[in-house]
Amino acid sequence: MDVMDDIARRGLLLLGCGKMGSAMLAGWLARGVDPGMVSVIDPAPSDWLRGTRVRLGAPEAPPAVAVIAVKPQMMDDALPALDAGDTLFVSVAAGVPVARFEAALGAGARVVRAMPNTPAAIGRGITAIVANAAAGADGLDAAEALLSAVGEVVRLEDEDQIDAVTAVSGSGPAYAFHLIEAMTDAGVAEGLPEPLSRRLATATVAGAGALAMEAGEDAAALRRNVTSPGGTTQAALEVLMDPARGFPHLVPEAVAAAARRSRELRG
């Protein structure tokens, strides 16, 4: 049965409605999910959430899907309140492995672990998913159908890849935001007013990302296209591409640090 048909029949539970939960809920409602079939458990419902006409509180019967979007430190309180049954559990909680859900819900619990990122708030996120054996391919199909409401979805071969995904795409938006900060400061240092420099930096990073998504060429080819021999871009890239102190050194070091911390957090 299609997941949306199953939700229309048995309902959908969202546990936690912060920024990511709200983004997902907005995407589902925009796709035509009946708010009357959605239950949301959140300790402090926002005015926006109250206005969606979803059910606030636990559902009366086990839902088709339960999406877990609470903070990892709240998981110990949240999981015991859930009844596994034949519900599909989709978790977007960072650092919480599938095994922890199986321990709390039972070895037969159907679990999909997902790692989204913050551009999901505007429907431009990318989410990586992986399922346990009990969820299988059907669980992955259902999770992809739900999570595609906030952007692209990719499937992992193994849960261990989640740490690398966290380091590249989960934490990645912060790297892009910091690049905007650094470019803004550099423009100011070269004599631009701060608001103008910030606007130029923000639009440039956003536009370059959109071009990379749509151009049909890889990033290296796009970089070469904009780099004239002996020109201004080449002068800048000689600094940024320095293997000892530029991006080839800094970015792998930063991603490795994030992946290492991800592994530490899951124990």
Which stretches of the chain are DSSP H helices? 3-10, 19-30, 47-50, 75-78, 98-105, 136-147, 162-165, 172-189, 194-214, 219-225, 232-240, 247-266
CA distance 57 to 74: 17
Tell me: is residue 72 an annotated ligand-binding position. yes
Tell me: is residue 170 an annotated ligand-binding position. no
- Looking up tokens 């989640």, which residue turns up? 162
Domains of the chain: 3-161 (3.40.50.720), 172-266 (1.10.3730.10)
Q: Closest by alpha carbon to 42, among 24, 64, 61?
A: 24
For the entire predicted model, the pTM comes to 0.89
Partners of 127 in the beta sheet?
153
Tell me: is residue 213 an annotated ligand-binding position. no
The secondary element (H helix, E strand) that includes residue 114 is strand 110-115
Rounded average pLDDT over 36-53: 93
CA distance 246 to 251: 8
Considering the chain, what percentage of its residues have pLDDT values greater than 90? 73
* pLDDT at 166 exceeding the cut of 90: yes
Residue 107: the pLDDT is: 83
Residue 267: the pLDDT is: 65
Tokens of 54: 């979803």
CA distance 117 to 104: 26
Residue 191: the pLDDT is: 98
Tell me: is residue 19 an annotated ligand-binding position. yes
Is the distance from CB of 266 to CB of 97 less than 8 angstroms? yes
Tell me: is residue 69 an annotated ligand-binding position. yes
Residue 39: the pLDDT is: 94
Q: Closest by alpha carbon to 132, among 111, 115, 146, 147?
A: 111
Mean of all residue pLDDT scores within the chain:
92
Tell me: is residue 70 an annotated ligand-binding position. yes
